Structure 1
Amino acid sequence: MIIDSHQHFWQYNSEKHAWIDDEMAVIRKDFMPSDLKQVYQGNGIDGCVAVEADQNTAETDFLLKLAAENDFIKGVVGWVDLRANDIENQLETYNNKEKLKGFRHVVQGEPDHNFLLRPNFLRGISLLEKQNYTYDILIFPHQLGAALEFVKKFPNQKFVIDHIAKPYIKDGFYDGWATLMKEIAKQENVYCKLSGMITEANYKSWTPIQIHPYMNLVLGAFGTDRLMYGSDWPVCLVAGNYSKVKELTTNFISKLSTHEQQNIMGVNAVKFYNL
């Protein structure tokens, strides 16, 4: 079974999706389950996890509605304001939503380098574990130091690093990112997604060989039990197509055992998100 652990849906709105700049104009349109279903049929994908792309609870409700209507959407990573005073009550409202698996905040967009360590945010995170919610960590490499301290505070909370923490592949930066990723990987409750890599390289001229050192590092650090395949569709379309994204991972892991390949391509996502 192949599970895409990371993709998005949206009804394009120039204000709401202002982060889609001119270089990414190809994704300035709607992307809905009917579009993705066709892509999955052509690429042998069995199901997916839909991840928030807009920071409000309406986004969570939108994804849950799509998941209820489409069987191949196996889980949802939504958004809730983890800093809110009434966060307990907010989480309570989702109690009966079986496909809601966890939450994410766009920490990469926060100007505060230590956003993850602020007391109100930590309080919100502390409430996730007892309801078996996961948390997706979306950061840039300069935020890895704070992320390391952050994950150490919650040894039993299930965390996953999105997009291998967005290393600056285009610029060839590696060492600082690599050092901190190895440290984070020592925390056994932290997983990592092999996703969003081609959009950190040069959109037009990237090659698998440029990306392999980064993939090698996370494979060595997290092992085959804590890595999961993700496409980051439709964002990936600015730098390639779905088949290229999938092949980047399947070709890279082709020398591993069948069992290890199955872990990365689906089993780990099922286990992590309790799909």
Structure 2
Amino acid sequence: MIIDAHQHFWNLDRVAYPWLTPDQGPIHRTFEEGDLQPHLDACGVDGTVLVQSADSYEDTDFMLEVADRWPRVRAVVGWVPLTRPDEAAGALDRYRRDPRFAGVRHLIHDEPDPDWLLRPEVRDGLDLLAARELTFDVVAVLPRHLEHVPVLAERHPDLRLVIDHLAKPPIRERGWRPWADLLARAAAYPNVHAKVSGLNTAADWETWSAADLRPYVAHALELFGAPRLMFGGDWPISVLAGDYRKVWEETVKVLDGLGLDPAERARVLGGTAADVYRIPDPT
């Protein structure tokens, strides 16, 4: 089973996305399942993990509605107000009635406070996720965000943490540190996982190829191993720097060039996501 562990839908008529403004160009429009299905079919992708695009109940409710009508959505990573633990507890109990609700994400990179993840009330909110065996996706855009992952992993050893987009390595600048060292610190904790996703928009949008991604994916593979890495297409954000098929083909080219055996390849392209997000085998 091949699973894209990170993609989005948004409907501009249904949900407010404060970050999604007209200057975003080709992605400033509604994207739903009819737009994505041909790409999945062409690449042989069986299912996806639908990830939140706004810090709102409306976005989470919309994603679950899409999942109701489109079975290719195998899991949903939604949102609850982690800074309001009492409210969050009730929302989680309501959402968990749907077995596809697998975890939570918050757009921490839009928070003015770079240390938002370390707030005491957020800590209480993350405890709620751990107690309910839900995941937390970390949008680690700044080095400061990635610094917090080992702290969270130690505070919440029973919480499955997922670093989105390998924490956006400095591919365009051909940089390495501090990203590489911070990722290594995070990977030292067994409850931390990472997504090989969103790398094309971290590279040069016009010229990127598998060769640009390879050293960063190789580093992640050495640190996490295939059992803690998962592929994600980051569609439709990925449209800014190439279509779905290019992201799929270049990512697979990287993985094949790194010498993964069939079992390891299957882990990155679906098995890890199935385990982390508790996606049942369709058979």
Please tell me the TM-score bracket, short chain as reference: over 0.9
Q: Give the RMSD, CA atoms, in angstroms.
A: 1.7
Secondary structure of 1:128 counterpart: helix
**Cα drift, residue 187 of structure 1:** 0.3
In structure 2, give the amino acid aligned to 1:259: A
- Cα distance 1:29–1:19, how it changes in 2: closer, same or farther (>3 A)? same
Query: In 2, are the aligned partners of 1:113 and 1:146 still within 8 Å (CA)?
Result: no
The aligned counterpart of 2:58 is 58
Query: In 1, are the aligned partners of 2:166 and 2:220 still within 8 Å (CA)?
Result: yes
**Cα drift, residue 23 of structure 1:** 6.3
**Cα drift, residue 195 of structure 1:** 0.2
**Cα drift, residue 237 of structure 1:** 0.7
The answer to whether residue 108 in structure 2 is matched with residue 107 in structure 1 is yes
The aligned counterpart of 2:71 is 71
What does 1:98-177 align with in structure 2 at a 5 Å threshold?
Answer: 98-142=99-143, 143-177=145-179
The aligned counterpart of 1:34 is 34
In structure 1, give the amino acid aligned to 2:70: N
Q: 1:211-256 deviations in whole A, cap 9, x for unaligned?
A: 2111111011000110000000011011001111111221111121
Query: In 2, are the aligned partners of 1:198 and 1:206 still within 8 Å (CA)?
Result: yes
- With normalisation by structure 1, the TM-score equals 0.95
Q: 1:75-105 deviations in whole A, cap 9, x for unaligned?
A: 1000110111422222222231111000000
In structure 2, give the amino acid aligned to 1:169: I
In structure 2, give the amino acid aligned to 1:113: P
Query: In 2, are the aligned partners of 1:141 and 1:177 still within 8 Å (CA)?
Result: no
**Cα drift, residue 207 of structure 1:** 2.6
The aligned counterpart of 1:84 is 84
The aligned counterpart of 2:249 is 247
Aligned length: 275
Query: In 1, are the aligned partners of 2:130 and 2:158 still within 8 Å (CA)?
Result: yes
The answer to whether residue 12 in structure 2 is matched with residue 12 in structure 1 is yes
The aligned counterpart of 1:212 is 214
Query: In 1, are the aligned partners of 2:210 and 2:251 still within 8 Å (CA)?
Result: no
Query: In 1, are the aligned partners of 2:209 and 2:250 still within 8 Å (CA)?
Result: no
Query: In 1, are the aligned partners of 2:211 and 2:254 still within 8 Å (CA)?
Result: no
| Cα distance in 2 for residues equivalent to 1:187 and 1:214 | 19
Query: In 1, are the aligned partners of 2:63 and 2:76 still within 8 Å (CA)?
Result: yes
**Cα drift, residue 139 of structure 1:** 1.5
Secondary structure of 2:77 counterpart: strand
Unpaired runs of at least 5, structure 1: none
Runs of 4+ in structure 1 displaced over 6 angstroms?
none
The aligned counterpart of 1:196 is 198
Query: In 2, are the aligned partners of 1:75 and 1:100 still within 8 Å (CA)?
Result: yes
Query: In 1, are the aligned partners of 2:50 and 2:73 still within 8 Å (CA)?
Result: yes
What does 1:223-262 align with in structure 2 at a 5 Å threshold?
Answer: 223-254=225-256, 255-262=259-266
Secondary structure of 2:178 counterpart: helix
| Cα distance in 1 for residues equivalent to 2:25 and 2:123 | 36
**Cα drift, residue 18 of structure 1:** 4.6
In structure 1, give the amino acid aligned to 2:169: P
- With normalisation by structure 2, the TM-score equals 0.93
- Cα distance 1:111–1:172, how it changes in 2: closer, same or farther (>3 A)? farther
| Cα distance in 2 for residues equivalent to 1:268 and 1:198 | 21
The aligned counterpart of 2:95 is 94
Secondary structure of 1:171 counterpart: coil
In structure 1, give the amino acid aligned to 2:104: F
* Greater Cα shift, 45-54 or 80-89: 80-89
